[in-house]
């Protein structure tokens, strides 16, 4: 099956700093990638839809200036959490859909962010 | 918008059968997905239903009734490794997830 990787798998940063998370589709091209956030014992909440070569579409309540998304190629999307605060500590997961339009989303392994 | 409901927790014995129900209310429907998520890991795809009826895949089956806004995931011959959270999600281009059902399998 299709594989999606994320880097780093976990990161600890100080409050006020920025953190970049990479999401890569390893063996397929993905026009669209999705970024989710998951707090402990809660479900996945869609943050934004990342489209290759165009601006990301953010869900209601998600600050686009705080969560910067760049989808520079058909295999890479990045999420940068700017000026991180402890309340941004969460599990960030990306997913990707094949350019061919298949319905299935393939999820990355997730990135555990802890802001101290 | 989407409103997706599923039970919070279920417990079952190894070798038994468990059925996880999911009800949804959506402004538009393009398909229903079930994912399995182990603690601290990303979700893995289990099934996809777009038409009414039962889809069987090994020990896992998923059922959909679009008129009732209802689906269930059936896990048969439970194994200890099936202890996980099971997420119901609705959508097509974008997915909306339910809160998940934590299934605990006991020996």
Per-residue pLDDT tens digits for A61-98 = 999 999 999 998 889 999 999 999 999 999 999 999 87
pLDDT above 70 for A15: yes
Token pair 């940063």: residue: A13
Q: Which pLDDT belongs to residue B28?
A: 73
The count of other CB atoms within 10 Å of the CB of residue B48 is 16
Give the pLDDT score at B81.
96
The two three-digit tokens of residue A19, written as one number: 């953190």
Cβ B48–A103 below 8 Å, yes or no? yes
Q: Count A/B contacts: CB-CB distance under 8 Å.
A: 40
Q: Which pLDDT does position A101 carry in this prediction?
A: 62
Interface test with chain A among B29, B32, B39, B43, by most A beta carbons within 10 Å: B43
pLDDT at A102 over 70: no
pLDDT at B1: 59
> Beta B44-49 vs B32-37: how paired, if at all?
antiparallel
CA B39 distance to own-chain centroid: 16
**A93: nearest CB among B42, B48, B50:** B42
Subunit contact B95:A49, Cβ cutoff 8 A: no
Amino acid B67: pLDDT: 93
């Amino acid at each position: 099956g299709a594989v999606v990787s994320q880097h780093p798998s976990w990161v600890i940063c100080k409050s006020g700093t920025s953190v970049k998370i990479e999401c890569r589709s390893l063996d397929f091209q993905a026009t669209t990638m999705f970024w989710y956030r998951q707090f402990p014992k809660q479900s996945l909440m869609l943050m934004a839809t990342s489209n290759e070569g165009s601006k990301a579409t953010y869900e209601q309540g998600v600050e686009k200036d705080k969560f910067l998304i760049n989808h520079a190629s058909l295999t890479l999307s990045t999420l940068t959490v700017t000026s991180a605060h402890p309340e941004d500590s969460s599990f960030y997961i990306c997913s990707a859909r094949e350019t061919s339009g298949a319905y299935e989303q393939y999820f990355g392994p997730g990135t555990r962010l802890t802001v101290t | 918008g989407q409103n997706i409901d599923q039970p919070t927790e279920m417990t079952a014995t190894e070798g038994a059968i468990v059925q996880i129900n999911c009800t949804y209310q959506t402004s538009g429907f393009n398909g229903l997905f079930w994912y399995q998520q182990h603690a601290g890991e990303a979700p893995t795809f289990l099934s996809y239903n777009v038409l009414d009826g039962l889809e069987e895949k090994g020990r896992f089956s998923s059922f959909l009734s679009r008129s009732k806004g209802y689906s269930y995931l059936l896990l048969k011959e439970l194994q200890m490794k099936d202890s996980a959270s099971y997420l119901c999600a609705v959508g097509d281009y974008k997915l909306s997830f339910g809160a998940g059902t934590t299934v605990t399998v006991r020996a």
